[in-house]
């Protein structure tokens, strides 16, 4: 009887030791896997530059391929839009079109501090790309920031006040949300292929409803 008890105890001890070893091994494997996946995560957010027709695009492994190809299509369209070569050259001076994810926010905007266009809110971009030319819109913000004189900015401000006074566009429209949006949204429509989905929609509308703005864009872009 004693021998059986002893044997049982020995067996339990042996099983315990084996399972402990197993757990330790499992633990080690888990740790290794965690370390590996951390390294993989780090690798996946490493951004890389690529040049596309004189614009620098910054992407990373999380940038969807369709977002990159839509930006390239919009850049092609920019070159074919009737913008003066000198204006396109000025737009290429933007630091980058930033399509990577490692900056702590997702948006579609021009960032004056970094002088870059951020295009990493892929959901909105891909959803609205067909109807809104975000690339030319944000580049128009850069253009205003870096290439318009104070005198030209004052002219713009007066033109916008005039448009507001004449109620050319609804007050709630993006194009009426300040001088910068007035310019960028008008430029976006003026150089659109067809029509955009927001006021002023296209060049013809600007020429008919806001002819002084049409002249301003023609003269400066």
Q: Which residues bind Zn ion (CB under 5 A)?
A: 184
The least distance separating Zn ion from the CB of residue 65, rounded to whole angstroms, comes to 26
Coil, strand or helix: which one is 51?
strand
Minimum gap (Å) between residue 31 Cβ and Zn ion: 48
Q: CB neighbours of 140 closer than 8 A, spacing ≥ 6?
A: 183, 184, 187, 188
Nearer to Zn ion, 56 or 198 (CB): 198
Q: Of 55, 146, 130, 143, nearest to 98 (Cα)?
A: 55
Nearer Cβ to Zn ion (163/184): 184
Q: Give the residue with the Cβ less far from Zn ion, 81 or 186.
A: 186
Q: Which residue number, 70 or 134, has a Cβ lying nearer to Zn ion?
A: 134
What whole-number distance in Å separates Cα of residue 214 and Cα of residue 8? Answer: 95
CB of 107 to Zn ion, least distance (A): 11
Q: Shortest Cβ distance from residue 180 to Zn ion (Å)?
A: 6
Q: Which is nearer to Zn ion, 188 or 210 (CB)?
A: 188
Pairing of strands 116-119, 55-59: unpaired
What are the start-end ranges of the H helices in the chain?
A: 2-44, 65-80, 85-91, 122-128, 134-147, 150-165, 179-190, 203-209, 211-220
Using CB atoms, what's the residue nearest to Zn ion?
184
CA 94, 99, 103, 106 dihedral sign is positive
Which two three-digit tokens encode residue 69? 């190809």
- Cβ closer to Zn ion: 88 or 184? 184
Rounded Cα distance between 170 and 173, Å, is 5
For the CB of residue 117, give the shortest distance to Zn ion in the complex, in Å: 10
Q: How far is the CB of 88 from Zn ion (least distance, A)?
A: 19
For residue 36, the number of C-alpha atoms closer than 13 Å in the C-beta half-sphere is 6
Whole-number minimum distance, CB 24 to Zn ion, in Å? Answer: 58
Q: Which is nearer to Zn ion, 117 or 214 (CB)?
A: 117
């Amino acid at each position: 009887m004693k021998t059986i008890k002893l044997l049982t105890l020995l067996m339990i001890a042996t099983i315990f030791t084996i399972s402990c070893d197993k757990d330790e091994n499992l633990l080690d494997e888990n740790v290794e896997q965690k370390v590996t996946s951390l390294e993989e995560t780090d690798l996946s957010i490493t951004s890389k530059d690529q040049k596309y027709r004189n614009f620098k695009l910054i992407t990373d492994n999380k940038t969807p391929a369709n977002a990159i190809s839509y930006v390239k299509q919009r850049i092609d369209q920019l070159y074919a839009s009737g913008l003066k070569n000198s204006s396109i050259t000025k737009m290429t001076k933007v630091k980058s079109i930033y399509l990577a994810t490692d900056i702590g926010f997702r948006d579609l905007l021009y960032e004056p501090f970094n002088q870059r266009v951020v295009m990493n809110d892929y959901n909105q971009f891909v959803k609205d790309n067909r109807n809104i030319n975000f690339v030319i819109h944000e580049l128009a913000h850069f253009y205003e920031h870096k290439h318009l004189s104070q005198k030209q900015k004052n002219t713009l401000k007066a033109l916008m006040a005039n448009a507001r006074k004449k109620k050319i566009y609804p007050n709630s429209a993006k194009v009426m949300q300040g001088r910068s949006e007035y310019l960028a949204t008008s430029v976006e429509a003026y150089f659109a292929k067809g029509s955009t989905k927001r006021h002023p929609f296209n060049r013809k509308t600007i020429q008919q409803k806001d002819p002084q703005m049409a002249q301003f864009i023609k003269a400066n872009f």
